Amino acid sequence: MFPEERQQAILDLLERDGKVYVKTLSEKFEVTEDRIRKDLGTLEMDGKLKRTYGGAVARQAVPQKKTSTDAESKKKIASAAVKLIGESDLIFLDISTSNILIAEKLLELDREVRVATNMIEVLTRLAHAPKVKLIFAGGVINRNRNGFLGGATLDFISKLKPDIAFLGAVGVDVKENSVSTFDVEDGINKAKIISMSKNSYVVAESSKLNSDGNYNYASLDELSGLITDEKPSEDICHAAEEFGVKLILP
């Protein structure tokens, strides 16, 4: 079965059941769990599903007012993010699909950059870039998150002093001043990165400003700002201003 055929079959199952699981899909299609995670990542980038802990859910609850795809939104976010990077900055890219696109944007820069990450896909994109000095925060792999989490990773992060960090989020509740994710270990790592970085930004599509995860890892007023793809509604902009949250748009 070609990847495209398998991905369409995954979408068919998702339409029928509303949720799919990595382990179940791996057994059904007789491929590795890593292969299934890559399939889900591709489908998420195309805006066709939303990855969750251990699987994925349909995107039916996500407002569809935007004309751009999720991939286009993430590209806008990545373009805005790289403009914040200064000469000789140490950049931390944590586990986030938006950070994959930031890594790709870094390849376009005509200067040397230093990047630290705990995400495998960021590592693979930058591993052979001649102008990128790459630092990998390893430890125990979390295959559901496509990266490294846990005590060893946290210990490594606690010794870094990034100039700027970009962090993913499952949900951003500006009105409640909270940023959340699904995985507790992921949230603990993100909180540590924020505390160790001189500047830290959450990267999140505007659709995530109306969603929420299971674990709040930071309040927005702990951050340097929120990078999103389009101007949010006026009530969200007003709440951000009250909390002193800087909104950064393309």
DSSP state of 209: G
Question: Which pLDDT belongs to residue 239?
Answer: 86
The amino acid present at 90, given as its one-letter code, is: L
Domain range summary for the chain, segments of one domain joined by +: 3-57, 70-248
pLDDT in tens, the chain (250 residues): 888 899 999 998 988 888 899 999 999 999 999 899 889 988 887 778 888 878 888 764 443 443 345 788 899 999 999 999 998 899 999 999 999 999 999 998 878 899 999 999 999 999 988 889 999 998 888 877 789 999 999 999 999 999 999 999 988 988 888 999 988 899 999 999 999 999 999 999 988 887 777 889 999 999 999 999 999 889 889 888 888 889 999 9
Identify the bridge partners of residue 139 per DSSP, sorted by sequence position: none
Two tokens at 175? 């009105």
Class of 70-248 in CATH: alpha beta
CB burial of residue 124 (10 Å; 0-12, 13-18, 19+): exposed
Q: Into which CATH architecture does domain 3-57 fall? A: Orthogonal Bundle (1.10)
The amino acid present at 206, given as its one-letter code, is: S
Buried b / exposed e along 57-73 (16+ C-beta atoms within 10 A): ebbeebeeebeeebeeb
Two tokens at 25? 């899909």
Instruction: Judge whether 3-57 and 70-248 match in fold.
Output: no
Cα separation, 240 vs 174, whole angstroms: 6
Question: Which pLDDT belongs to residue 59?
Answer: 67
